[in-house]
Chain A
């Protein structure tokens, strides 16, 4: 509390603006300065820290998985470009195969990504607890 605040506080604290506090003022002051009855559990900080740890871990894993996915796409694109110059017919046959069996390929990729994600986010963090 700075000096101006203190002065103002003294003003509204006393009826006659003399600065002297009365019994009701004292009681109100004491009550307002008392520690409230509500509080947080003792392990609150640990609980929140664990939540933050988990959040940081998940974010890190999601970035890792996105990085892997992007790397695979880039590698496939480079392989496709190289193949275009080396053996364009073979590239065409691969693209035809992908077009014919597109749904199998899409479902296969989604399943693979799903399993990888579940493995990284759900199973691997618990390994330390099991072993």
Chain B
């Protein structure tokens, strides 16, 4: 925490080398959150730049009410959500409160290929991509970034209970779909 405070002070004093260190430290977190929602590589990079420019602008006002990572994650989430709102073709996906944005998830792989663990993982990745953005974000924050429910609530603006519910529902659905595939595999 003290190191973070020192880093923030140096950045606020105009030390851009310190800001470079901060980017290096948090670029993975930002790209993990934004990448779950934006699939175009160039747009993703632009959005991440935008996030760090906002971080730079707002950093002198950071009061340590939360962890710096939570604060940066919240900026990333809001920036990505605003991006989705601006791009109309994805707006319907954003407003969709259902788990899957597209129910027609067709298994294209050969049943024999599904014997392979790696293929199954690829299939799970595909299923995750089909989840609505808020579910994808909650899953990423919890499993990949290891934030707790309270922190995820702070980042997404969702109540803690809703975060738990979303995690439970998303995992349950992924599990059901996967069990179905595994059953098919056994029958094949």
Contacts and interface: CB of A to CB of B under 8 A. Distances in A.
Task: Specify whether A and B are partners.
Answer: yes
Interface of A: 1-2, 5, 8, 12-13, 23-25, 27-36, 38-41, 44-49, 51-53, 55-56
Interface in B15-46: 16-17, 19-20, 23-24, 27-28, 31-32, 35-36, 41, 44-45
Interface residues of B, number: 44
Nearest to A47: B49
Interface of B: 14, 16-17, 19-20, 23-24, 27-28, 31-32, 35-36, 41, 44-45, 48-49, 52-53, 56, 117, 120-121, 124-125, 128, 139-140, 143-144, 146, 148-149, 164, 167-168, 171-172, 174-175, 178-179, 182
B44 A38 contact: yes
Contacts of B125: 31
A91 B14 CA distance: 46
Contacts of B31: 36, 38-40
B49 A52 contact: no
Contacts of B17: 49
Contact of B175 (A28, A34, A48): A28
